[in-house]
Amino acid sequence: MVLNHHKIRVIILDDEEFVCNHLKHLLSAFEEVEIAEVFTSPQQALLFLADTPVDLIFLDIQMPLMDGFEFLDRLRESTEVPAIIFVTGFEEFAVKAIKRAAFDFLIKPVNADELAETIIRFKLYRNQNHDSQKVNHLLKTINNPRRLKLKSKNGLHLIDPQDIFFAEAEGNYSWIRLTSGSSEMVTIQIGKLLEMLDADQFFRISRQNLINLRYLHRVDKKKGLCFLKHDTHIIELSMVRNKINQLLQAV
């Protein structure tokens, strides 16, 4: 099926309805943009795209049932992947991966001027052949995340961030508590360690501890505690009280 290239046909996919509405409002200012559909459900978007080609997808990354990367993987199995613009809060290494692999990215909340620059770039880009290798590179990058290289007194540790349960400060050093139950002491302060990690996945709950949000099980606001769980192992950690609301907003 040949697309009508007089218009840029787009869909918006974000599990937060207010984000969709905000982006839809901003895009309505562009005569050359046609919003084909807006979705809060990745599954519904996949069904739509199976029969309806579009030029561009504005895609959220963090969605509860299927994240943006899994969505791309599923889409690639059934149809040609259109250009992707991530609308995300991701920082640091995740943004670098997105820069290399997606057409563009926008940081929430979306700025109207930045969106306008993105639309202009896409109009120029659309006159060229779509490079599907970019999407393949993105999926490869996400499915094979980089390991952290952390020094210890005895040498070097290569640690997958997904395996970090939580970390504990000890002066100028940090204990890395792993999901396997083992621990590694590394020669880096906990604040510097946090800078190396994905800000959307790790959160510092106190001067003493940072946690991996994927293992957050429960928060007790009254007692100022959070509970992490991996398999049957549950750990209880004290929180700084002014961090509790920030944590609840981060998950």
User: Which sequence spans correspond to the domains of the chain?
Assistant: 8-143, 148-250
| pLDDT, tens digit, 9 for 90 and up, residues 153-172 | 888 888 989 899 999 999 99
| pLDDT, tens digit, 9 for 90 and up, residues 202-229 | 999 999 999 999 899 898 888 999 999 9
Name the nearest CA neighbour of 85 among 37, 134, 129.
134
Q: According to the model, what pLDDT value does residue 87 have?
A: 87
Q: According to the model, what pLDDT value does residue 142 have?
A: 55
Q: According to the model, what pLDDT value does residue 65 have?
A: 85
Q: According to the model, what pLDDT value does residue 101 have?
A: 63
Q: According to the model, what pLDDT value does residue 68 have?
A: 87
Instruction: Name, of 51-60, 122-131, 198-207, the range with top average pLDDT.
Output: 51-60
Residue with tokens 């030029």: 55
Kindly state the tokens that stand for 73.
């993987």
Per-residue pLDDT at 99 exceeds 50: yes
Cα separation, 37 vs 65, in Å, equals: 20
Q: According to the model, what pLDDT value does residue 208 have?
A: 94
Q: According to the model, what pLDDT value does residue 67 have?
A: 87
Q: According to the model, what pLDDT value does residue 137 have?
A: 53
Query: Is 34:7 a contact under the CB 8 Å cutoff?
Result: yes
Q: Is 83 helix (H, G, I), strand (E, B) or coil?
A: strand
Mean pLDDT for the chain? Answer: 85
Per-residue pLDDT at 109 exceeds 60: yes
According to CATH, the topology of domain 8-143 is Rossmann fold (3.40.50)
Per-residue pLDDT at 1 exceeds 50: no
Per-residue pLDDT at 33 exceeds 50: yes
Quick one: residue 13, left, alpha or beta (phi over 0 = left, psi -120 to 50 = alpha)? beta
Name the nearest CA neighbour of 214 among 166, 168, 158.
166
Tell me how far CA of residue 153 lies from CA of 11, 107, 114, 185, 210, in angstroms: 52, 39, 46, 8, 22
> How far from each other are the two terminal CA atoms of the chain, in whole angstroms?
40
Cα separation, 247 vs 166, in Å, equals: 15
Name the nearest CA neighbour of 33 among 64, 9, 61.
9
According to CATH, the topology of domain 148-250 is OB fold (Dihydrolipoamide Acetyltransferase, E2P) (2.40.50)
The answer to whether the 8-143 and 148-250 domains have the same CATH topology is no
> Bigger pLDDT: 137 or 87?
87
Q: Is 7 helix (H, G, I), strand (E, B) or coil?
A: coil
Q: According to the model, what pLDDT value does residue 2 have?
A: 40
Query: Is 226:211 a contact under the CB 8 Å cutoff?
Result: yes
Q: According to the model, what pLDDT value does residue 4 have?
A: 46
Cα separation, 110 vs 41, in Å, equals: 20
Cα separation, 238 vs 247, in Å, equals: 13
Q: According to the model, what pLDDT value does residue 139 have?
A: 57
